[in-house]
Structure 1
Amino acid sequence: MACLKILLFFLFMNISFAQKDTIFQGQHLRVGEKLESANKEFRLEFFSLDANKTHYIGIFYNLPSNMTLFPGDDRPVWVANRDNPIQYASGNTLTLDDGGNLKIFYRGDSFIMLSSYNVTSRNASATLFDNGNFVLVELNTNGSENKTLWQSFDYPTDTLLPGMKLGRNVKTGQIWSLTSWISKDVPASGSFTIGIDTNDIDQLIIWWMESVFWMSGRWGNETFVNVPRVSHYEYVNLNFVSTEDEKYVTYSVSETRTLSRYVMDTFGFIKERGAAGPFGVCFYKPSAGCVVTEESIGCSIRNDSWFKRSPNSVSGNRFRFANNNMSLFDCKRQCEKNCSCAAFATVTATRTGCDIWSNVSILNSVESDVFILADERDLVPIRNRNSTDVPSTVSLPPDLAPEPSPNSTSGSSKGTSRKWWVWLIAASGLTPFVGFFALCYFLHGKGKAKATALLLLNQTANISKKRKIDKKMSHEVQLYSLESLAIATDNFSPGNKLGEGGFGPVYKGEMPDGQEVAIKRLSTSSGQGLLEFKNEILLIAKLQHTNLVRLLGYCTQREERIIVYDYMHNKSLDFFLFDINKKELLNWDTRFRIIEGIAQGILYLHKYSRLKVIHRDLKASNILLDAEMNPKISDFGMARIFGTQESEANTKRIVGTHGYMSPEYALRGIVSTKTDVFSFGVLLLEIVSGKKNNSCYDSEHPLNLIGLAWELWREERALELIDATLIESCSRDEVMRCIHVGLLCVQDYAKDRPSMSNVVSMLMNDTKQPPPPPERPGFFIERGDQHAEISEEVVRYSINGLSISELRAR
């Protein structure tokens, strides 16, 4: 019986594999089976990316099926037959034959040779290791390893793992480089490659179709010149090795870092776990080392152009390239090089091949994604009123264009009336070209002249169009790529999260040049959306004041809605003001400076900015504090723009936060500058007292902070409102002045409240006459009113520097 078991064991060895991480000679890895490295870090198996039409052998991180992934964590790190896909079949196998050769068998006896060595029979094995390397070795007669015959690390595809080499062996000619996939569904070799400089310079090069696309700069001080060592890559240890035989780059990671990989993306990005890595970013805001030549661009008018994705099909003059192995990037570049190209799209379902169009018309029927050249309709104009310090146009994608104003009919009519002479000038400018086209027609024949004329006409029209765009876009906020923001936040990691509001989470980020930023990302579950997003970008880009937060840019890639601001080191006012320990850091001088700064910022919005702006959501969490504790008003998603002659308006969409909204706005939807004055009054009382307005300050009756201040004022005990931590540091005159002004600002009737100009004068004690006595405040509940109720809300405080208001249905 024992002999029978031994016989069956050896028979089984010839059919399957004895160890889960190793294939021995004569064994097969079949479809549905897999090799797993010793500690189950990696697996090797057959896979398909196109609904079981083609088969590949690949190595993957061996992740549990229920594990939450970063983008790309489930893609292979190595593909054996990337350029030789085989037809999907259950009989496909990976085999280590008797001669020690690794082969992929398909359709019976057909095979793809992965390694070709002649070794003694039954003296070879192939093992998948925990570093992701698949290694074929020759064995001694006692089973020990004799020498390495072949390894997957010597033939990388698009992915660099810790311990892999990127460079070359000078002695043997072995090259270690990464080459992009054609598309995310086709692992075949694409048009981007990264490797060591072939000119014996210690630097990395990214080539696009054999042309230099990006250079890392020389190695020195443990990094490359064009690869800054930023804080979120401290866990990566780059190493450059240069000997007589080899020159290569490798990297290692800290033990706490898992699933690390660098991937050459189809657009030339070097990605780290789905986000663009610290080098090779040459789009939107190109990084150092990017090489842009006339040869790579072709048409000079396209240097700053960009394309928008459209889900609709298009019609027009179309040209299809015969090469179906072109990536989406390749197709884009072909369009950029042709001045008459107005749109491009990939041909196949797997995003390869290329069609380009001129004279595009958008149809309603949905076909596949087409990228259309942006034109003047994609720019959002904002009228410049008597000022030249701020740009008059902000460049935004077309899906962010604001709805037409109900008061814009006159402007539109005026624009229409001008069209006849605009067309007249345009026609005059084109007259020489028309004559030239006619000459071509007679000299070169009808067909050729017609094609030449059409091409030149398209180029002329596009040049004219682009000049208009360039003029409008000469000053604009930065358009960031999603990859660059993912780099800055370490893939939006929880460790970089500063806080969260109604808009969504806010992250601290660090750009490649070391600049710290705050990155606000719209959550899919947010009650706010596109309207607030574009409103904020349009407004902050147009407003410049020392007490307003500065907008740096935005991102709308892949359905994302992200805004980038200056980072505020001291987070927001509520972080200090309502914390029993931190409020001691706010002495009276600091608080009074914050009060003054907020007042100056609101005054600018109401009176001195080119746009008359009502913020509508002033509150402690929307007042950010910089490194010197200077206040910056943030969150303009709810803001309302008024005409210079408008004083108030009605709105059906009431947004904001309980406790800060004026009575006329909360109850009747009437919004005016006095709406912000009321909110400022609440803020002022909160800063003086260190108390929240929405809390209750009477054990028997619902008395809020406004009510408490009013009661103390009437009883001539107003100084009892002051925060206990300020007793030693405050000026009693300034405190009484602030409480007085605060109560004037929160009066029930809007007409009784002072303007922000008067508020600033009273706070600075610039008025010749003392302020009038305050009247009854809004939302004040008398102590004797037993049936009154005050709506309370759970207040969420920002730990970061950018909090967002919550939408409240009425």
Structure 2
Amino acid sequence: MGNGIQYRIPSAFLSFPFLLFVFLAIPSQHCTASDTLTQSQQISVGQTLISSGQIFELGFFIPGNSSKQYVGIWYENIPIHVQKFVWVANRENPLTVTATDSAPSSLTIGKDGNLRLLDGMNNTVWSTNVSVHSNNSIAVLSDRGDLTLKDTVSGLILWESFNYPCDALVPGMMLGMNTKTGEKRVLSSWLTAEDPSPGKFVCGITPETPPQGFMWNGSRPYYRGGPWDGWRFIGIPDMGQGYTNGFNLLPDHQQGSVYLTMDTNNTSHLKIMILTPTGTLKIVHWDEQVKNWYVSWQAPINPCDIYGVCGPYGVCNKDGTPICECVKGFVPNSTEDWRKGNWAGGCVRKTELLCQKNTSSLASSGKAQNDGFWKLSDMKLPDHFKYLYYEDSSGCQQWCSSNCACVAYAFVTGIGCMVWDRGLMDIQQFSFSGNDLFLRLSYSELGKDKKNEKFVISFTTISGVVLLGGFMYGLHKWRANERLKRENWRKDFDMDDTMDTSRDTLQENVQSSELPIIGFDKILVATDNFSTTNKLGEGGFGPVYKGKLEDGQEVAVKRLSRHSGQGAEEFKNEIILISKLQHRNLVRLLGCCIEGEEKLLVYEYMTNKSLDTFLFDATKRVQLDWVKRFHIIEGIARGLLYLHRDSCLRVIHRDLKASNILLDDDMNPKISDFGLARTFQVTQELANTHRVVGTFGYMSPEYAMGGLFSEKSDVFSFGVLLLEMVSGMRNTSIHYHETYLNLLGYAWELCNESRASDLVDEVMVDSCSLFEVMRCTHIGLLCVQDYAADRPTMSTVVLMLSHEIDLPHPKQPTFTIQGLSNADLRSQCNKIFSMNKESLSIVEGR
């Protein structure tokens, strides 16, 4: 045994036969702990590898009272009686120590460069079994719990345990698949609590769009978490949203891959997801005070969580008696089975749909339209959906109405249009956080309820007439006064003659986008006639006002500037784009208004305004500790990934900057201002423009100097924003240092001199994870490399932020370090670069 391997006896071996065996096997020399196994070393019983941060340990172990021996990975500082083995190498081929063994079992690196587990007779029990071009390989145990086999010549990772999960998902590990390569990464339960061999339960991600979280019992579906909406699986109501659940789903449609990761920003907080032998999926956390694990979430937890317990068209309600009932318009397939509590047969339609009776004749007569939809609220949406990529909410209903095979539809924020053309399976009634499902029913089924509705409406109408008469006089006088105010106000408004988009054209675009139109009168009331006290700010598009609609909802109203030559084009572009985009990290457009010369956009109101109001403010930026900043960084990255790869329109934003990142009540980021955004074809990688618009300091070199833009243009802007988040300084401000033109050059020089910690914003030095901040700085420099081909894609950036892949060395950005320290050059720079308060254009102002 060479030096570098630690000898220790895990508590799992404290039985007399193994104590005797271990002591006989251990040499008398003293060895120090190491995280690396070389070809000149081996690990035998009683020896372990320990990660550099002393978080994980690898070695031999015996589970419980078993007589079988395994090599696995566990937490180094957790007592053995509550230990969680997060990975097992030879789970299908356990070692059995016998008296005939000529030598102890060992883990070594063979002559072919592969990791090999040898039994006492020197037979290979388990091997990494990969193609190694040279035999210069080492094995390293990381602080993430990942055992990697590396080629010391090329530096390439040849094999890693994270690619072969067992029953545990640890932060940094990925579950999912690649449909092009056939790779699948799933959790598989132990057979029993003392037998690590693969059990009958498997948990993973489905390849459909959007992907679902799923558990199988053998080949049969057992539990379903529902589709991913960008922040969570919608079939898990108590999962939490966004950063609170710690999960990330990373789809890449072009690569044919989708992976789920679980991350935690606090490396000292141990958190894992375990699939138990009994088919329960648990998220457990380590409590250092009580020295034990506690469960924060688990599923399934009630009978309704079991897949399809109520059969097709049966809805399960855990609080119901019985728990199963048929959806409206359906009856049990077998009344006798239903009475006995055997609901698996499900339900059948009570009244045939009109469109199914005689499709041709009904279509000509128009009667097929009499079939309607019944709304079911707070539902776990059924399995076996079809995803309609390009349909909005009204188009979703229209598609389902015009297809008789469509039995239901739903439109979910963050996903879009989902339709069903077969038996609705695995429906559950939630008490909260469910979704609306619109079920297709015949007219007769809808009519029974419509009679009651008509009675209620009639009664309400008669009662309302009595009150309406007294209200009309006051309303008439108020509207007359408001009309006079508006006419006087409009006399002062003179629209610029250079506006290149007509009112009629804009009206057509609004109608085609099916965006709600809000009356100008309502906007005037909401904003108190655009009073200065309600003004939130002003950008290149025009002023933005805070308002409150009639229903009490607070909104932000963006009003087209009369002096903006680009305004109408931006207005049209934003309507077309953002009305079709649905993601948690994109600001939501609620409606618009075109009346006379007025053109306005109405957005959800963000309480905390924009990121720059915190980040670049000497007092407010204290509120942005590193945890909040990293959450914001992750959210922006996920929003950009959606725009570039996962939305129905492939969108390049072109003006990503701190002032265009809005923050909600929980400081979750939302990308805004799509006036300059452009769409790409799926196969298109690059575009050119003669009209270069955007903000200096955030523009990529190829765009600023040549008008070329692509996804990598947004990646450059994201890199700048990332460095600003780390430092708390604007990129184009040269006031913080005399030597550098901008923040990029300053950051590069500090990293090059191993002084990257000097870049960290002083207000968060004591609260941040220095390793994580340095990694983000590194990622930022990779994003701002001069050549677009050198920059990572946003899907790669998200993986980098999740610590999923190693970081290459960035190339030095050009035009960042000032070669001559003369005042004239600095003065020039002050004139060239904006302070990022407003968007500027190389060719034209914005």
Q: Same fold (TM over 0.5)?
A: no
Instruction: Please give the range of the TM-score, normalised by the shorter of the 2 chains.
Output: 0.3 to 0.5
Q: TM-score, normalised by structure 1?
A: 0.43
Q: Which has the larger radius of gyration?
A: 1
Q: TM-score, normalised by structure 2?
A: 0.41
